[in-house]
Amino acid sequence: MTADLIDGKAFAATLRARIAGQVAALKADHGITPGLAVVLVGEDPASSVYVRSKGKATAEVGMRGFAHRLPAGTPQQELLDLIARLNADEAVNGILVQLPLPRHMDEAAVINAIAPEKDVDGFTVLNAGRLATGQKAMVPCTPLGCLMLLRDRLGSVSGKDALVIGRSNIVGKPMAQLLLADSATVTVAHSRTRGLPDLCRRADIVVAAVGRARFVQGDWIKPGATVIDVGINRTDDGLTGDVDFAAAREVAGAITPVPGGVGPMTIACLLANTLTATARVHGLSDPEGLTP
């Protein structure tokens, strides 16, 4: 048995096309154009690539993009002042501050300076709390993309045993909350979890987001399970995920590749969140199919 590939690249392209159609309708019906502001502090090479990709994707779906690049030595207060201006700017519906920030900055303070209704990354304490308590929230992009892929593959995750490996605020914790809200039975594990292979072998769904190359072994996977690999690790062999892909594919029912799996979904869901934020601030219904 060889697992089916979950093609995140193709799914993301379809999602972006749907978003472009909804953006066009928003302009035609209400005269509103969503605007996304992306802030980059410093010259981290990977972050610069991400920011360029986000800018290109924003333009392709018909949104307005506002790029703000600040030197690495920018004082934190200067960044906070910029965020305050973007919070007040009616043309800006979404604000994303690219992480990681330079070491002299307090990431939590910067993130929580973003107005929750414009927090399209879903990282503020208020949005995290809303998600955890089942209220309407802006949802982190990567977990939202993973959920879309799972629903597309499985139809429903209700009643299934799901294992989330990773406990970050960006992926692991919100992923667990989304799966719980969809009535899955969820276990959250991490690199120090005892008996992790046995936990994996019981799981119908495995979401690997631990940040270690090929950490999840093929013989950990339950036959027929659905495996979502969030990891992107640079190795001598190129990019690899957190799952030993070749071995896991011989056991799983479906699996995301790296690259081409979860990665493209993250940017597509950023655009989805920007459209959702725009609709909400104007008192319109949430766009169809873009929220949990």
pLDDT digits (tens, 9 = 90+) for 112-165: 999 999 999 999 999 999 999 999 999 999 999 999 999 999 999 999 999 999
Q: How far is CA 102 from the centre of its chain?
A: 22
Confidence of residue 252 (pLDDT cuts 50, 70, 90): very high
Tokens 């990977």 sit at which residue?
A: 46
Q: Which helix (H) or strand (E) holds 199?
A: helix 196-202
Q: What is the pTM of this model?
A: 0.96
Across the beta sheet with 161-165, what order do the strands follow?
4-5, 254-255, 226-229, 205-208, 161-165, 185-189
245 vs 18: CA distance, rounded Å: 30
Q: Which of 98, 118, 160, 182 is catalytic?
A: 98
pLDDT of residue 174: 98
What does the DSSP assignment read for 124-172?
A: SHHHHHHHHTT---PPPHHHHHHHHHHHHHHS--TT-EEEEE---TTTH
Q: How far is CA 65 from CA 11, 35, 91, 116, 271, in A?
A: 23, 6, 10, 19, 11
pLDDT of residue 154: 98
**4 an active-site residue?**
no
Q: Say yes or no to pLDDT of 48 above 90.
A: no
**121 an active-site residue?**
yes
Q: Which of 22, 118, 119, 121 is catalytic?
A: 121
**What backbone torsions phi and psi does residue 271 show, to the nearest 5 degrees?**
-65, -40
Q: Which of 54, 118, 173, 222 is catalytic?
A: 54
pLDDT of residue 255: 98
Q: Say yes or no to pLDDT of 19 above 90.
A: yes
Buried b (16+ CB within 10 A) or exposed e, 119-132: bbbbbbebbbebbe
Give the count of alpha carbons within 13 A of 149, CB side only: 38
Confidence of residue 45 (pLDDT cuts 50, 70, 90): confident
36 vs 65: CA distance, rounded Å: 5
Q: How far is CA 275 from the centre of its chain?
A: 15
User: What is the share, in percent, of the chain residues with pLDDT greater than 70?
Assistant: 100
Q: What is the mean pLDDT of residues 16-24?
A: 98
Nearest to 203 by CA among 221, 216, 189: 221
Residue 241 makes CB contacts below 8 A (sequence gap 6+) with 208, 213, 214, 229, 230, 231, 232, 233, 256, 257, 258, 261
pLDDT of residue 203: 98
Confidence of residue 263 (pLDDT cuts 50, 70, 90): very high
**217 an active-site residue?**
no
pLDDT digits (tens, 9 = 90+) for 201-211: 999 999 999 99
In whole numbers, what is the pLDDT of the chain averaged over residues? 96
Q: What is the mean pLDDT of residues 209-228?
A: 97
Q: Say yes or no to pLDDT of 1 above 80.
A: no
Could you tell me the domains of the chain? 31-115 (3.40.50.10860), 141-263 (3.40.50.720)
CB distance 23 to 33 below 8 Å: yes
pLDDT digits (tens, 9 = 90+) for 273-283: 999 999 999 99
